[in-house]
Amino acid sequence: MTPPAESCAPDAARPAPSPSPAWGVPVDGWKPLLASRGLPAWRADQILHALYRDFVTSWDAVTTLPKELRSELAREFPLKPCAELDRTESADGTVKLLLGLDDGNSVETVLIPAAGRFTQCISTQVGCAMGCVFCASGSQGLVRSLRADEIIAETMAARAYGTVTNVVVMGMGEPFANYDETMRALKILNAGKGPNLGARHITLSTCGVVPGFARLAAEGIQFELSVSLHAPDDETRSALMPVNRRWPIAELLAACRDYTARTKRIITFEYTVVKGVNDSPECARRLAALLKTLPCKVNLIPLSPVGHRPDFETPPESTMMMFLDVLMKARIQTMLRRSRGKDASAACGQLRLRNLIRSGDDGKTAPLAECLP
């Protein structure tokens, strides 16, 4: 007697579920999904192996599965790789990709090679609603948030260039404004039977959406957390980052303090130095005073010039050294960061902007966020 063909087809009594993109399925979700279709648990391991060890981008390539099952998976759990719309490579090895989504939107991702590491900077939204004035994604507004499977698809697009060892969520968008889908994607990246990226190799960066801190602490996963601070007083910060009007510095730092207490993790503060705006010795001293009692590190970043604000300029090296000196004397661990990939349309969004301009669009939806290793 021939055994019944293995199938994940719904029975007649069950309405056909709508397709759910495969890369958005949580790693531990496959077994129950398959069980509910009468399939054995080991099929889940085969599927996970194909997805996250072999990095298949089509079910047809999974020859360990019966043909019928492959086509049913393709129907119910489609794989939707991003189209590579553009690429720029810089002399320092940084590669920036413009990736096309199903609905015609596009996002950027940056691949940053460094000694023993291959870091990918990923986007979580098309555009951004946060409106930081030195960041072009902010100036152009939010188009939409990405789904988890689209975020994973970004990481799959990087595989053609090497094995990603670190992921930083510092591309287009505010991860805490797309918390659920971002977290779903990061948990997939982190899962042992997924891409198996260590939590400490995954860094989230937020502009300070305060409710996100308690939610992240409650996850109990040791992701790295960066906070874009960029100013030591409310007046300057609100002028640079509208989010500060909703959650001013005292509230933000209270959330940071609570986060470090609950997780026993340190926070990295990003401080982009803008000439004549937040670069005075007084700013440096106030920054040191603010952070002195917090378990934290500081990354000092010289502004990367953006086309829409020619009045914002990169500070001279001497200003960066002055800041470094003040913070170090206050015993705050501080790093001077440099932007990578300047000749590859440096800041995130520039590649997309260039393409929009090329195609006659005025770039109104072009996001521009700086990506930093």
Cα-based distances in Å from 261 to 84, 199, 254, 296: 42, 19, 11, 12
For the question of residue 371 being annotated catalytic, the response is no
Distance from CA of residue 335 to its chain's centroid?
21
For the question of residue 348 being annotated catalytic, the response is yes
DSSP single-letter state for residue 369? B
CA-based nearest residue to 35, from 48, 44, 22: 44
Joined together, the tokens standing for residue 58 give: 């089509």
Identify the active-site residue in 8, 72, 76, 108.
108
The distance of closest approach from Cβ of residue 227 to ligand SAH in the complex, given in angstroms and rounded to an integer, is: 7
CB of 255 closer than 8 Å to CB of 214: yes
Nearer to ligand SAH, 149 or 174 (CB): 174
CB of 311 closer than 8 Å to CB of 134: no
CA 234/CA 219 separation, integer angstroms: 30
Nearer to ligand SAH, 68 or 251 (CB): 251
CA 10/CA 22 separation, integer angstroms: 17
Identify the active-site residue in 181, 348, 370, 371.
348
Kind of pairing between the strands at 224-228 and 95-100: unpaired
SS (H, E, C) 260-314: HHHHCCCEEEEEEECCCCCCCHHHHHHHHHHHCCCCEEEEEEECCCCCCCCCCCC
CA 283/CA 281 separation, integer angstroms: 5
Place of tokens 């990939």: 341
Which stretches of the chain bind ligand SAH, using CB under 6 A?
132, 134-135, 170, 174, 205-207, 228, 270, 272, 301, 303-304, 306, 347, 369-370, 372
CA 285/CA 83 separation, integer angstroms: 47
The SS3 call for residue 18 is: coil
Cβ-based neighbour number of residue 204 at 10 Å: 22
Kind of pairing between the strands at 125-127 and 202-206: unpaired
Active site residues per annotation: 108, 348
